[in-house]
Chain A
């Protein structure tokens, strides 16, 4: 199984809503990532989890809150988002270290 899955595929939320994005991988990877991608731009790293611990936070606003319940799951909790947060949110996983990362299909988020 070489797949990273993400749910939901699409999400529309208001600025006062609380929602969560979910990501799962069963490749035995110990590093998991959240990226944000705007149209016609490359993915921008948000968070890195290594062995279920947060190792990198790229100065992401606190309205985004990551969680890694176990080695296969990664969540991104969203609260009080702004319209400019609308983007494709990508989860990825990799073996530990400088290894290639495998991306999920993403959640396309629209904030109204």
Chain B
């Protein structure tokens, strides 16, 4: 089993719709969690950290479920510019080591 797993997609989303996807992790000692966005041939950009109580940043909401060992990202009112690959990243008990999931591709269409 991979340490961090994501549905590769693609998720085809009509503009204006809501899309949500998850990321599961295997190490129950994982300390911190992040969502990154990566555009084609560009570097990953930190979208948001994921806090235990859940957190929201504009149209983006992240949740953490420690009992079931997954995090989620929800995008409301999808824009064409939201089309990208969304990578989850998990920081284990070792501190600085960040392990990435394989990414979920999201395509927002008019």
Contacts from A to B (Cβ < 8 Å): 31, 33, 41-43, 45, 48, 50, 55-56, 88, 90, 94, 96-106
Bound complex: CA A33 to CA B99 (Å): 13
Are A105 and B46 closer than 8 Å at their CB atoms?
no
Are B97 and A56 closer than 8 Å at their CB atoms?
yes
Tell me which residues from 82 to 105 in chain B have a Cβ below 8 Å from any Cβ of chain A: 87, 89, 91, 94-103
| Residues of chain A with a CB closer than 8 A to B45's CB | 103
The answer to whether the Cβ of B42 comes within 8 Å of any Cβ in the partner chain is yes
A48-B97, A50-B96, A55-B96 given; name 14 further pairs at CB < 8 Å: A33-B98, A41-B102, A42-B87, A42-B100, A42-B102, A43-B87, A45-B99, A88-B41, A90-B43, A94-B96, A96-B96, A99-B32, A102-B46, A105-B42
| Residues of chain B with a CB closer than 8 A to A103's CB | 43-46
Are B101 and A98 closer than 8 Å at their CB atoms?
no
Are A97 and B34 closer than 8 Å at their CB atoms?
no
The answer to whether the Cβ of B31 comes within 8 Å of any Cβ in the partner chain is yes
Bound complex: CA A90 to CA B100 (Å): 14
How many chain B residues touch the partner (CB < 8 A)?
Answer: 23
Q: Given A43-B44, A90-B43, A106-B43 in contact, is the A101-B101 Cβ separation under 8 Å?
A: no
Bound complex: CA A42 to CA B8 (Å): 11
Bound complex: CA A104 to CA B89 (Å): 17
Bound complex: CA A56 to CA B101 (Å): 20
Q: Given A41-B102, A42-B87 in contact, is the A31-B96 Cβ separation under 8 Å?
A: yes
Please indicate which of the listed interface residues A42, A43, A96 has the most CB atoms of chain B within 10 Å of its own CB: A42
Bound complex: CA A104 to CA B42 (Å): 9
